[in-house]
Chain A
Amino acid sequence: MRSILILAAATVLAAGTALAQSSTATGVSRDFNPAISVNTLLLGRVADRTAEPAYNGADLQEAEVQFTSIVDPYWKADLVFAIHPQHGHDHGEGEEGADHGGYAGDVEVARIAGQAIPGGFGLVVGKDYLPFGKHVPLHTHQFAFVDAPAAIQAFLGDHGLTETGVRLSHDLPLPWYSDLTAYGVDGRAEIFAAESRDLAWGARWSNLFDLSLESTLEVGGSWLRGPMAPDYLLLHDDETVAGDLQVWGADVTWKWVSAAASRGPALAVTGELILPRPDQGASDPWGWYAQAQYRFKRNWWLGLGAGGLDRSLPHEEEDAEEEEHGHGHGLGPWEEMREYKLNLTWVPSEFSAIRLEAARFDDLVGDADDTVFSLQFNFTIGSHPAHLY
């Protein structure tokens, strides 16, 4: 009897093993699961001004869950879900010093990319970051500094410019690498009028020159047009401006990566200019940033950045705007400002980093100056991420 039981147990175990190897009978298999990775940013910081909870204390900055897989011979899919703190100003309530509102989730990316498109065209359908300049397409954990430059937040949205639509790309037949991308999307990001039925359109032209084995120069231009959000110009709440918004951008990046050693010296310098051109409501707002990242030792990066913006608000609306919007865009709704950033990052492996940063914001019109010190922990679990250039 005991032998029969042992034999039966062995049979069941063997059958279990066989089922684990072949899922035909159960329909359960891990073979086709997507590659999964999770990136998390933890952030602690203190600011001179104490009204803004997001800038005083420690919290989750963002957790990003990414799924990637080949769908079939025709499509590859990417889904990215982001979880981040929700503060009062996220509700659009304009609450001064609003309380922490728990955590909110967003679908940052839900896209499929064509795998069998003929003629060298790239086709992407779905929700994705718009290809505007160098900074907008970056996920938060890819930023050179803790926050996006003030000009990017002010003119292209502080929650990311991720939209649903179609984009088409092609490598132009030029002697250098020259990529042209055009897109049409349903503009729902905060810079667009979400209720409008008009689509937003745009294009990016990126040119990359190989200067040597180790260095490249990239020169790009971007443009987008869409229905402008009523509060884009930060006017008084009851003074909304209708019409279209155009934004022009230009960027230059020089990059050098030494071949002499694995993760050896490297330097990347980027400058970007953003020129919003609303159909009406403001003269010529503009913003810019410049940043340098230098890997001076195998596991150590130094970052240096500066930037600024000028909204050119009509003078008589300035006080009302300060009063009503409070801290609607990060630390301040600056009319004209300059920012300076310095950070040091320790990257012990490809899967974790610790960043210490100091940032100074100078308000050139009002008195919303600030100094912020940040400590950021960045870690990734799951599949190995490919590195963007």
Chain B
Amino acid sequence: MKTILTLTLATVLGAVTIAGAEPLQVVCTLTDLGWLAEQVGGEDAEVAVLCPGEYDPHFLPARPSLARALGKADLLCYNGLDLEVGWLPVLLDKARNPRVRDGQPGCLDCSLALATVLEVPSGPVSRSQGDVHPQGNPHYLLDPRNGVRVAALMAERLGELRPEAAGRFRQRAADLAAALEPRIAAWHAAAEPVRAHPLVHYSKQWEYLADWLGLQLLGAVEHRPGISPSPRHVDELTGRARAAGVTELVAAPWNHLDAAAKAAERMGAALVVLPAAVGSQPGADGYPEMFEVIVARLVAAAGE
């Protein structure tokens, strides 16, 4: 009898040990965050992504099946600044996972890593400004320096959830920073020709990219988020773009490219469609690759 009890106890303890060594289940809302989590988590984490790169993350259809991955998660990493407000609350309700509820260690708002949030409204906000984000522009992952910051934050949170692997998480985040920093400098230097002329962008998505690369953004065709631009606004912007010598109108793959193409033609500018998320276009399969494509396309269009 004693032998049986000992064997049973050993089996249970063994099962617990194996369970403890299993990778943390990490669910990220965006492909950019998913790529960063994979680098930081390594073999200590299994990463799933809710919003495929092809979808505009503002408007992901909240398929209940997405809640299943969220239901098994140890850690949810989300962009924050209300980018996912249209679908993440629904999925969190359906996931029924207390570990990733707001306020739990398993729920990480990655925007907390930012040193500066751009375009935080300084005055009253109303819907007359469109579907404005009251906490600031949420597209901060288009500045790779923010990707480095987010990776460091992920490492800290993963370390809290799995203390025995905390050192490995920190080391991987440091390795990632060391690998990205020279490339960030190189991309910045390569973008020099693009700084010669202001750009027009289709939607207010590229402010962080412009802030990092030192680009001038003259204005957005869709100047009120989520609201179709009026002909009067496009006329006014076209006049300013022609006067300023704009040569490029940048847009995300999910923008209304027919309207963007017409606006670019009127401005005498090239329409440059840039990957706005990892996996949103061929060639942008990883976070660094996305910036390779972005900078190469901007430079190529500036040279035309």
Contacts and interface: CB of A to CB of B under 8 A. Distances in A.
B97 interface: yes
Given A120-B97, A349-B226, A384-B85, A261 B61 contact: no
A103 interface: no
Interface in A348-389: 348-351, 381, 384-389
Nearest to A263: B59
Given A76-B93, A389-B62, 19 more contacts: A116-B101, A117-B96, A117-B98, A120-B71, A120-B97, A169-B96, A171-B96, A177-B64, A177-B67, A210-B63, A213-B54, A261-B255, A261-B256, A349-B226, A350-B131, A384-B85, A386-B62, A387-B61, A387-B62
Contacts of B94: 122, 179
B20 interface: no
A139 to B, nearest CB: 14
Contacts of B127: 349, 351, 381
B96 A122 contact: yes
B90 A389 contact: yes
B284 to A, nearest CB: 15
A20 interface: no
A70 interface: yes
Contact of A259 (B54, B86, B131): B54
B62 A73 contact: no
Given A118-B98, A171-B71, A171-B96, A259 B55 contact: yes
Given A260-B254, A384-B85, A208 B63 contact: yes
28 contacts: A115-B101, A117-B96, A120-B71, A171-B96, A177-B68, A179-B94, A206-B64, A261-B257, A262-B256, A298-B228, A298-B256, A348-B227, A348-B228, A349-B227, A350-B226, A384-B82, A384-B86, A384-B131, A386-B62, A386-B86, A386-B87, A386-B89, A387-B62, A387-B86, A387-B90, A388-B90, A389-B63, A389-B90
B63 A216 contact: yes
The 9 A-B residue pairs with the shortest CB-CB distance, nearest first, are A177-B65, A259-B54, A262-B56, A386-B89, A116-B98, A122-B96, A257-B61, A389-B62, A386-B90
Interface in A85-130: 113, 115-118, 120-122
B265 interface: no
A255 interface: yes
A299 B259 CA distance: 14
A176 interface: yes
B231 interface: no
Q: Which of B54, B65, B97, B103 has the most CB of A within 10 A?
A: B65
B80 interface: no
B52 interface: yes
Interface in B43-85: 52, 54-56, 58-59, 61-65, 67-68, 71, 82, 85
Contacts of A210: 63, 65
Contacts of B67: 171, 177
Contacts of A389: 61-64, 90
B102 interface: yes
Contacts of A385: 86
A349 B67 CA distance: 27
Q: Which of A299, A348, A386 neighbours the largest number of chain B CB atoms within 10 Å of its CB?
A: A386
A115 B98 CA distance: 6
Interface string B252-267: 0011110000000000
Interface in A225-264: 255, 257, 259-264
A117 B87 CA distance: 22
